[in-house]
Amino acid sequence: MGIDDFGTGYSSLAYLRRLPVDFLKIDQSFVRGLGTNNEDEAIVSTVLQLADALSLAAVAEGVETAEQEDVLRGYGCRFAQGYRFGRPMRAQDLSLGR
């Protein structure tokens, strides 16, 4: 189970203790500022450290640029999604490379 849009709205830190969480999805509103906004970088790096400390995976949402990808890799983020990697598509058009 994961917590979507972590760091916004109803994603309380208390959920990390109450729910059987496996991963956090870092909200794209923070990812968008990577490389240009020190506050967003501080938030993203802290969420990644928190996930690591709790043995959770972290997924960065809304990655659109090579610079965002580079910053995330520099912080040790292993999972990301966004237009940088592919546009939305129908399930029948998805090739899994088998």
Catalytic residue numbers, as ranges: 61
Question: In terms of Cα–Cα distance, which of 37, 48, 57 is closest to 7?
Answer: 48
Question: Is the distance from CB of 64 to CB of 72 less than 8 angstroms?
Answer: no
